[in-house]
A and B are shown apart, each in its own frame.
Chain A
Amino acid sequence: MSKSKKSFSFALAMLTALTLVLSACGGGSNSAESDSASGGKDSEKPVNLIWYTIGTPQKDVDKVMAEVSKYTKEKINATVTMKMVDWGDYAQKMQVNVASGEPMDIVFTAAGGFDYVQNARKGAFMELDDLLEKYGQGIKKTIDPAFLEGSKVDGHNYGIPANKELPQQEVWRFNKKLLDKYNFDITKVKSLDSIEPLLKTIKEKEPGVTPFAMDKNYVPYVPYDYVIQNLPMAVKLDTTDYKIVDILETPEMKQALTTMHKYYQAGYIAPEAATTGSTSDLMTSGNWFMDRAQTQPLADNSWSASYGYPVVSSPASDPIITNTSVQGSIMAISANSEHPEKAMEFLNLLNTDPVLRNMVDSGIEGVHYKKVDDKHMENLPESKNYDMPSYSLGNNMLLYLNPNDPDDKWDQFKKFNASGKNSPILSFNFDSTKVATEMAAVQNVKEQFWASLMTGTVDPETYLPKAIAAFKQAGLDKVMAEAQKQLDEWRAANNK
């Protein structure tokens, strides 16, 4: 009895000691916080903004950011640290980072990648209405209002969309070298079926070349708009009754998957496509014939420039303005940001100041690129150490033009934007909080079936029914019913 009592008091003493140690640690960070908050306005130390963005980490990021920081320190008294997370890892890594409260200020988000709407609802991002009013007047002036309007969640802005192409249009991209070698005519190519003869020739004549390049995120195009990107709920583009359907049960998808499986069996698709995280190896080596991508005006120029060999494309779908395209690239301010005002000032500057925007995009002048004239620039060899995706880094219309780009590039963008048709469910954002458990289960089922079905790896004859049943069992019907209810309400409210 006395023994156990003693060891209990000892345990208590030990716990107390450790708690003291702990609270000392915690205290340290607290005091640092209050320091920065109470710092005088003039003698203010520059704040450091942590910026998470998508893309293969580049070697010279820190070097360029040092240069960027010099500039921003002068302009808004802030420095910038950029953290890049690779394409395939971005959604997952950010999921974890946000959930665990990793310090960050500016976060790249998109409908497809690290889902903008869902995470805004989960409270990952700060609501920006006031900040935008106070520090973001420049943004409001330059960015196409369709973007700011289309990225509202329940009537509030949670992020600054990039000013770029508004509709999304799928294209088939071709490696021009092979296209020329076999004299293919790509003007007649549009549907998935129409590419078959081309693939067949390449497969037969070019061993060692992957005819149809894709990674595990590939999904065949069908004329539907998804309620949530990558989950099987969708509405037909020419719908009149606004009915949400399970995309896997539609004849179009079934047809597309059957074709994909046929291609897979014929060897047009890499055998391990369903587990391949990235096609960048193929793009580097040039050992591919075609793939599918989203386009923008003059995209062929920029693809060719970044791969180092000519790439051409032809449309695979019509340009449609969807939530996915409007929310295709957004920079949000993290809910745990310690400097939301500064972050907004920075975003405002990034979207309005050509010097800053181009530095972030192309690196240091004279090192990574050189100016050719006042509108055009050219990459220097060093640019391969700082090759950034332009779409994810803010206002595209401020960028210097590639050597081959016509002077009216951005006017072409504006024309392209005007040409897009609105998806029926544009700006309807599904709130999944009521069916959160079902969503998680559905997500798990998706992980299991999606990639192998979409890449044609498995036979849809047997796997499609299995997948449909598994989704149903996970509660997809309940999720769809909830979505339909919200969609009907939205429709009534918006007179659609």
Chain B
Amino acid sequence: MAAFFKNLLKNKVMLFMVLPGAIWFFFFSYLPLVGTIVAFKQYRFSRDGFWASIFNSKWVGWDNFKFLFSTNDAYTITRNTLLYNIAFIIIGLVLSVAMAVLLSELVGKTMAKIYQTGMFLPYFLSWVIVGYFAFSFLSMDRGMLNQILGWFGAEPVQWYSDPKYWPYILIFVSLWKSVGYNSVVYLASIMGIDKSLYEAAMIDGASKWQQIRNITIPMLSPIIIIMTLLAVGRIFYADFGLFYQVPRDSGTLYSVTNVIDTYVYRGLKTTGEIGMSTAAGLYQSVVGFVLVIVSNFVVRKIDKDSALF
């Protein structure tokens, strides 16, 4: 015991340094973790405050989960979350790498810089603003898309109440916001590739296309794999703003816009059944956890330094 305190004393400066952060983690990460036991309770408010409410609420075992999985909701939100994220990852990767390679091959570097600056813009905007942007195109009576349809004599489309268009709209908006940023990440590592490799290839008479396929892409592959696996680890988490702000919270679109995150939020807001919403959140955490562990394990196999732990 004495040794323990001696050690504490010896490390006091370092301990002092981690203390603020550790307190933050305690309050904002670990206490909420304790709060997830609400998922197994029928939460009822009690006068004696927060902890009392949690501990005095009736245990209901797996009932809240049963509710979640007894309706279609669990299936819909899991499917939406997974499929959208898979689409974002695959299409995003292809477009970003293609754009990065393309930018690296442009002759005029000034033009490349200007394009880059333009592409980067959406990444800096909030989803609220993107929601307004989308509205200016999709508004039923004023939006640009319906005006264009009008020129071709087509009937205006009720964008905000017809689910069939939204998978495409959401994928487009998501890519619009992220491809520019990601391509700059890839471009940065293309710039880091040793130029002598290309020179050697050119001396051997390799075409541009061969150079890209045999040098650029292989040299990029570690970072591609890492970025992708990081995204795979987050595949169970959806971008709340994209799915909440852009469709304007329109009920008819829920079948294609409801994801786990929006479902949990709406549970809190509309039904007030805190236990049930927390159950949905816990389901997300647990599956998400497994996915992170698996993807980190894979990263570790490929490149030990890039693993998170």
Contact = CB atoms under 8 A, between A and B. Distances in A.
Contacts, number: 108
Interface in A1-44: 6, 9-10, 13-14, 18, 26, 29
Nearest to A450: B251
A275 interface: yes
A336 to B, nearest CB: 5
A274 B161 contact: yes
Contact of B45 (A98, A271, A439, A473): A98
B45 A452 contact: no
Contacts of B268: 95-96
Contacts of A26: 49
Contact of A447 (B49, B67, B270): B270
Interface string A85-99: 000000010011011
A18 B250 CA distance: 44
A123 B70 contact: no
Given A101-B45, A447-B251, A18 B273 contact: no
B47 A335 contact: yes
A142 B87 CA distance: 65
Given A448-B251, A452-B161, A99 B43 contact: yes
A14 to B, nearest CB: 7
Interface string B250-266: 11101100000000001
Contacts of A123: 44-45
A369 B273 CA distance: 43
A56 interface: no
Interface string A427-456: 000000000110111011001111110000
A124 B255 CA distance: 32
Contacts of B23: 18
Interface in B65-91: 66-67, 70-73
Contact of A448 (B42, B49, B255): B255
A96 B70 contact: no
Most buried by B among A14, A29, A440, A441: A440
Contacts of B255: 448
Contacts of A443: 270-271
Contact of A458 (B53, B161, B269, B271): B161
B270 A272 contact: no
A389 B233 CA distance: 50
B72 A449 contact: no
Given A123-B44, A441-B67, A447 B158 contact: no
Given A6-B4, A95-B270, A272 B160 contact: yes
A457 B252 contact: yes
Given A92-B270, A443-B270, A10 B4 contact: yes
Contact of A274 (B4, B67, B251): B251
A275 B43 contact: no
A263 to B, nearest CB: 14
Interface of B: 4, 22-23, 26, 42-47, 49-50, 53, 63, 66-67, 70-73, 139-141, 158, 160-161, 248-252, 254-255, 266-274, 276
Kindly list the 8 A-B residue pairs having the minimum CB-CB distance in the complex, ordered from nearest.
A271-B140, A95-B272, A92-B269, A452-B252, A437-B67, A440-B271, A448-B254, A275-B248
16 contacts: A18-B26, A92-B270, A95-B268, A98-B272, A100-B45, A271-B139, A272-B248, A336-B47, A440-B67, A440-B276, A444-B73, A447-B251, A448-B252, A451-B251, A452-B252, A474-B71
